[in-house]
Chains A and B, each alone.
Chain A
C-alpha cells in the first residue's frame, strides 16, 4: 500500500506501524466520576467496519508523525490522510 503523507508525499506502507481505530484519539477524562465505564468502552469496544475505516498509522521509518488514514477495509482504497495532531485538535483535544 502507499500512504500519501501530508508532509512527505506518497510513502510505502512498510515505513509505517499500524495502531488501530482513530477513535483512540478520544481518550476519556480519567478524573471523571464515570471514568471506569468510559475507559472500558474506550479500551475494548471498537467498530470493525467492512468499508471505510479511520485508523492511526505511525511513520516510524520516517518523520515520526502519527497519521489518521481513512482506508476502505474491503478495497484498501485510501481516501484521506491527515496529521493525527491536526485531527485531534479539530476534534477537541488540547492538553
Chain B
C-alpha cells in the first residue's frame, strides 16, 4: 500500500521509513508517526468496531482522549490490548490488530447489533435480561461479554520489567505546551527544582499541531529550542512520554513514564515503564484543552473527527483521512482547520458554521447550516446539510472536521475536591472549588485559549510560585504570539436526529440521554450510570459536555445547574504491570529463610510458606513415597529418641527495664510479677475486647530482663500492640522493647534423649540435670566451648524438650553440630507437619484455635485470667455474652470407626438432632493422623465440651459429604499427666 494520503511538510522524519502491519496488511510510515497517523497516510480510516453496536469507527482525535481507534499492539507475550492508535508511536516492525470484530474489521457478524439497536437502548441490561433468572449466568452474561469484548490478553507472562521510582521537586509542571514551557523556563531559570512532564513523545503540545509562529520562529521550533534550553539546566528534569495520572494528598502525584513503549523490545536492563511517585512543594497544571464534538445523525463514521485532530494530522504528521474534506463548526477555531488544510493542498469542500455572520473565505465555500446526515458504510462519502437559508445540500467528502468548542483539561483539578465552574465567555467549565494542595492552573487548562495568553499566564504563574518559595524570578523573554479572542456560540447537537452519538466509546446517543431523563434519572451522576455516558476508559473526555448540555436542555436548566460528574485517577488507562512494578512472581514479597535453610535444602526438605518465612515442612528420606510416611517417622522417632526443629520463626521480643515485670503483667492475662529469675511461664494475651490474641512464653533472664515469644504469624502485630500499651497507655513505665526475632537462631530439641544430646554441646559448667535445670527453667549459657547461647526448657511436643538459641550467624553451624552429635541417638530433623501432629496429640492450641473468635474460657484457660490485677482484655472477657453457661470448650475427638478421618472444619451435631445451623454444637479446628495412637485424631470446640467426655457426636461436613460419629475425649491424647516433659 502507498502513502496516498501523505501530505507535504510535517514533523515526521522522512529519511527513516518504518514497515508495520495492521490486520495482516503491510504498510509503511515514518519516524515520528503514530499508528493512527501512519494508517491515515496509508488511506486507512476504519480502525475499530464500537463497543455495543459494532459500528465501524475511525479516530476521533489525535491524542490520549481517543474513544474509537483502540487496537491490539504487538504479538506473542508482548501482545497488549486496548491501546490507542492515536498515541502509539510507530516503530519498525510494529504489528497491530483491530478489536471487537469477527471475522474481519470490514465485515463484522455482530454488526447485526446495530440493526437491533432499539433493543439495546440505555438501560437495556436492566430491562432485557431480567428473566428467567437462571439464564443470566449461563446465557446472557457470557453472550454479552463476548459481544462487548475489547481486546484479548496473550495469557503469557509479560517478559518486560516495570519499575517504581520516587522523585522530589519544588514544582511539577504537567503539560509541555506553550504555557508549560514558558513556566518551566521561568521557574528553571529562577533556580527551582522543576519537573516538566508531558504524555507526548514530542514536547510542545499544540505548538506542534499549529502553523502559528512565535516571534520569528515556527511554533514547533520555538518549542524544540525551549526544551533544549530546559534540558541544559541541571535543576530541570524534562520527562516526555510521562503521563501524570493523579493528584493525591499533600502534593503527591503519580506518573507513568513509558520508557520503552516506542521500541519493539526495551533496551537491555531497562524497564518498559516506570511508575513515579512525585513529591512536590507546588504544581502547575498546563494540560491544555480538549476539543469537543457536536452530535448529529450518523456522526460516527470513519473520517469524521475533531477539527483540531484533522489539523494536527495535517500539520504535525502530514497525513489526512481524505483528499476532500469538510468542516462543521460553531466557533472561529474550526475555520483555522479549513485554512490549514487548504494550505496543505487538501480540497476543502465546504465549511458549515452554525452561526450567522460567520467568517468568509475566498479559498472555500462557507455555509450557515447544520449537518443532518452522513453516508458511507465503512468510511464517510457524503454529508447532508440543512441550510439556514432553507433547503438541504449534499456534499461529497471523505473526511469531516467537527468543532464544538474547547474544554479546558480540568481532570487533575478534580482529583481531590475540585469542582469545575462554568464560564459563559468560552462556554466551558474551568477549574474551580478546592484544587489539590499547592496546585496552580495556567494556559488553556485555565480557559485562556490564545497562545499569547498561554505563554504569559504560564510564566506569571511560575514567577509567583518561585517568589512564594523564596526565589527571585524574572519573566523570560517571551516571543510574540497570536492572541485571537474566543468566538463561540454554543451548539451541542442537531435536533431531531435519530442516532446522534454523544459518547462514541460507550455507544451512547443523544436519544439515550433523553430516555434517561424520561425515566426520571435527573441527577447527572444517575444519568452517567444509567446510560454509561462517560464511563468508558476515556472517562468521557470528549463526550461529557455534550451529555450535560443535552440534559440541561431537556430539563430546562442551565449547564451549571446540572453540574458535572467527577474525573478520577488515573488520567488515562494504566497497565496493571506498572502498578505492580517488581512485585510479581517470586518477587511479589520478600522471602525470609531460617538459619537452617541451606542445611535443610541439602537434606531435600519440602518447604512451606509461613507468613513470609519458608519453613521445612518435612524431610523425605529415600524410599518414602508419601508425605505421611516422612511425618509419621519424624513424630515416632522424636517421641522415641530425639528430634530437632528450627523454631527461629517464632517472634521474639526483648523486654527490659525496672518495670518489665509490671508491664508483662498488663500484657498477659495471667500473672507475671512473681515469676522467678531463671524461670519461664506460658502467657496468654487478650485483645482489649476479651478475645484471645496470641500466646507464647516469657522467660525471665534477669530481674529487669524478659524474653517474650509470639506465634510466627503474629510476631509483627503483637510487637505493635506491646508498643501501643507501652507508649500510649503506660508512658511512665521504665520498659524498653525490641524485636530480636532475626537476631537469634532457635532450635527445639525434643524427646527422651534431648538432655543427653544437649549435654554433648553445652559447656560442662552448666548443669542440665532435672534438678539443675527443671521444666520451665531458662538461662544464659555457653556451648561448644564458649559460644553464648540461651536455653529454655519448654515443650510444644509434650516431650522432654528444650529450645536452644544462638546468635543467628551460628544457626547453620549449630544444626549441623546437633545432627552430628545426635547420630548415636538416631536423631531426626522434623518439620512443621510433625510439629503440628505432636502439638495436636498434646492438645496445645495454635493459630487454628486462637482464631480471633475464641476466649480464654473457650480454650479451657478461663481461670488463668487473673482477677487480682488489671490486664489488657480482662474486664471485657468477663462480659455476660462471653460467659454463657453453654460456652464452646476445647476438647479432643477420635473416630468411632478407627479407619475414618476427622476432617478439620467439619461441624459437630448432637446425635438424633437435625443437622442445621440452629443445632450446631461446634467445630473441629485441627486434625491429623496420630502415628502414636494409630488412628486419626482432632481437637476443636464443642458446646460444654468439658462436660461431655465420652459422648458420641456426629461430625458432618455438608460440603464434602462427610458424616460420621466421633467420640468426645480429652484434648490431651499423649501423656495427659505431663510426666514426659518433666522427666
Binding site for B on A (CB under 8 A): 1-2, 12-13, 17, 19, 24-25, 27-31, 35-36, 39-40, 42-43, 56, 58, 60, 64-66, 75-76, 78, 83-85, 88-89, 93-95
Contact = CB atoms under 8 A, between A and B. Distances in A.
A66 B870 contact: no
Contact of B723 (A35, A36, A66, A89): A66
A67 B662 CA distance: 24
Q: How large is the interface on B (under 10, 10 to 19, 20 to 34, 35 or more residues)?
A: 20 to 34
B871 interface: yes
Interface stretch (B483-491, B592-600, B730-738): B730-738
A88 B733 contact: no
B434 interface: yes
Contacts of A84: 727-728
B664 to A, nearest CB: 14
Given A24-B728, A30-B871, A93-B731, 6 more contacts: A30-B874, A58-B724, A60-B720, A64-B723, A66-B728, A85-B731
Nearest to B720: A58
B139 interface: no
A89 to B, nearest CB: 5
Contact of B732 (A12, A75, A95): A95
22 contacts: A1-B249, A1-B250, A2-B249, A12-B252, A24-B728, A28-B875, A35-B875, A39-B876, A56-B728, A58-B724, A60-B716, A64-B723, A66-B727, A75-B417, A78-B250, A84-B728, A89-B731, A94-B730, A94-B732, A95-B659, A95-B662, A95-B730
A91 to B, nearest CB: 10
Given A40-B876, A58-B720, A29 B730 contact: no
B221 interface: no
A58 to B, nearest CB: 6
Interface string B653-690: 00000010010000000000000000000000000110
B279 interface: yes
B729 interface: yes
Most chain A CB atoms below 10 A, which of B250, B723, B732, B733: B250
A85 B434 contact: no
A83 B727 CA distance: 9
Nearest to B252: A2
Given A29-B870, A43-B689, A93-B731, A75 B434 contact: yes
Interface string B613-633: 000000000000000000000
B249 A88 contact: no
A85 B727 contact: yes
B870 A2 contact: no
B729 A88 contact: yes
Contacts of B252: 1-2, 12
Nearest to B659: A95
Contacts of A31: 869-870
A1 B249 CA distance: 5
Secondary structure class of chain B's binding surface, majority of residues:
mixed
B471 interface: no
Interface of B: 248-252, 279, 416-417, 434, 659, 662, 688-689, 716, 720, 723-724, 727-733, 869-871, 874-876, 878-879
A35 to B, nearest CB: 5
A36 B252 CA distance: 45
Nearest to B739: A64
A47 B733 CA distance: 29
B875 A25 contact: no
Contacts of B659: 95
Contacts of A65: 727
Nearest to A44: B689
Given A2-B279, A76-B250, A89 B720 contact: no
A12 B252 CA distance: 10
B728 A43 contact: no
A42 B870 CA distance: 15
Nearest to A35: B875
Nearest to A36: B875
Contacts of A36: 875-876, 878-879
B727 A89 contact: no
Top 7 A-B residue pairs of the complex, sorted by shortest distance between their CB atoms: A30-B870, A94-B732, A2-B250, A1-B249, A39-B875, A66-B727, A88-B731
B729 A43 contact: no
Nearest to B729: A27
A35 B688 CA distance: 13
A13 B730 CA distance: 26
Contacts of B730: 93-95
Contacts of A64: 723
B724 A66 contact: yes
B728 A25 contact: yes
Nearest to A88: B731
A83 to B, nearest CB: 8
A17 B720 contact: yes
A84 B725 CA distance: 11
A25 B720 contact: no
B786 to A, nearest CB: 34
Contact of A93 (B689, B723, B729): B729
Contacts of A95: 659, 662, 730, 732-733
Nearest to A28: B875
A40 B727 CA distance: 22
Contact of B249 (A25, A29, A35, A76): A76
A17 B740 CA distance: 21
B727 to A, nearest CB: 4
Given A1-B249, A75-B417, A30 B875 contact: yes
Nearest to A2: B250
A65 B878 CA distance: 32
Contacts of A25: 728-729
A42 B871 CA distance: 15
